Amino acid sequence: MSTAQTAAPKKRLTTSAMIASIAAPGQRTAPAPFGNALVELARSRPEIVGLTADLAKYTDLHVFAQAFPDRFYQMGMAEQLLMMAAAGLAREGAMPFVTTYAVFATRRAYDFICMAIAEEKLNVKIVCALPGLTSGYGPSHQATEDIAIFRGMPNLTIIDPADALEIGQAVPAIAAHDGPVYMRLLRGHVPLVLDEYGYKFEIGKAKSLRPGNDVLVISTGLATMRALQAAEMLEKDRIGVEVLHAATIKPLDLDTIIAATGKGGRLVVVAENHTVIGGLGEAVAAGLLRAGIAPKFRQIGLPDEFLAAGALPTLHDRYGISAEAMVRQIKGWL
């Protein structure tokens, strides 16, 4: 601690709450888009129930719990029971929306999602906060490999929404989908971005958000928001960037991705809030290779290591998924 009386201490960024906001200062946001969309949907869908493992407040499920207390099941800090009970409720005709953190669903409850839910194609929607790097608490709370873990699970649909608009649209869409779904969740005051792009979420569809002649960025989740910011910044340097948003990681919309990749000799960059191992980047790479397409290809994603604790803006910049870091990387590759 500084004892100097004269010099004003330099303000250091702090880790802040467990779930630090990913909204930039001044950015438009919407509150609890998942919880509010679920409440809205549940009014006309009595089979919807909510379950959590001591994380209602941190997954925006508390909004549902307040609206429908007799349709809400607090299972305590027991993620295995959480998934098994959801399986049992689904067997009896309910449609469980299950929330926890992505680290716990993947690392603690995998077998129960795999064998009790996915193998039996049960209609359970698993919605998890803290995907990728969205907490400064370190590896115990950073699900940097959740997509890699779940991509290998048959029957499971995987969705990584980019903003509040998309979360709100995804809730009824995944309810209409017959089968298990894993959705990454941004919670709290979530940035609102895609409304400016006339975007409409559809399961299994990648959609182009802006055109660009020099670079094709294929992105998902919050990396799409950052890619859009990076594209604006690069445009000032006369670098044209198309952003193709693939919210559904599985099944992946390879037709659209292949069609976009085939347009001209653009640099292809896949950007994701996830380790570069086993996520969207490798899924796209494998799909392109199988189709006989080999563009200049680069990945923006988290490194294959346990990440540091700290303030989220610092970490996003350090590990390459801030807008500024994306700009630096893309310029370096051109």
Partner 1 sequence: MSSAMLDKTSAARRDGFPYAGSNVSLRERAYRIRRHALRMGEVQGQGYIAQALGIADVLAVSYFRALRYRPDDVHWEERDRFLLSIGHYAIALYAALIEARILPESEIETYGTDGSRLPMSGMAAYTPGMEITGGSLGHGVGIAVGMALGLKRKKSDAFVYTLFSDGELNEGSIWEGIMGATHWQLDNLIGIVDVNDQQADGPSSAMSSREPLHERFRAFGWHTQRVDGNDIDAVAAAFDAARAAKIAAPRIVICDTQMAKGIPFLETRERNHFLRVEPEEWQQAIALLDETFSGKTL
Q: How far is the CB of 183 from partner 1 (least distance, A)?
A: 20
Integer angstrom CA distances of residue 120 from 35, 90, 100, 146: 27, 10, 21, 21
Identify the three-state secondary structure at position 326. helix
From residue 113 to residue 132, the character string flagging contacts with partner 1 as x (rule: CB under 8 A) and all else as - is --xx--xx------------
Peptide bond into 251 cis (omega under 30): yes
Q: How far is the CB of 8 from partner 1 (least distance, A)?
A: 52
Could you say which residues in the range 41-60 bind partner 1, by CB under 8 A?
Answer: 49
How many whole angstroms separate alpha carbon 183 and alpha carbon 160? Answer: 6
Residue choice 5, 7, 25, 92 for contact with partner 1 (CB under 8 A): 92
Residue choice 58, 112, 182, 199 for contact with partner 1 (CB under 8 A): 112
The answer to whether 84 contacts partner 1 (rule: CB under 8 A) is yes
From residue 228 to residue 257, the character string flagging contacts with partner 1 as x (rule: CB under 8 A) and all else as - is ------------------------------
Helices (H), 14-120: 33-42, 62-67, 79-91, 102-107, 110-111
Name the one range near partner 1 by CB under 8 A: 33-41, 87-95, 187-195, 253-261: 87-95
Q: How far is the CB of 129 from partner 1 (least distance, A)?
A: 21
233, HSE (Cβ side, Cα atoms, 13 Å): 16
Residue choice 31, 88, 211, 251 for contact with partner 1 (CB under 8 A): 88
Token pair for 228: 């859009």
84: number of Cβ within 10 Å: 19
Residues forming beta bridges with residue 97, ordered by sequence position: 50, 125
Q: How far is the CB of 111 from partner 1 (least distance, A)?
A: 6
Binding site for partner 1 (CB under 8 A): 49, 73, 75-76, 78, 80-81, 83-94, 111-112, 115-116, 119-120
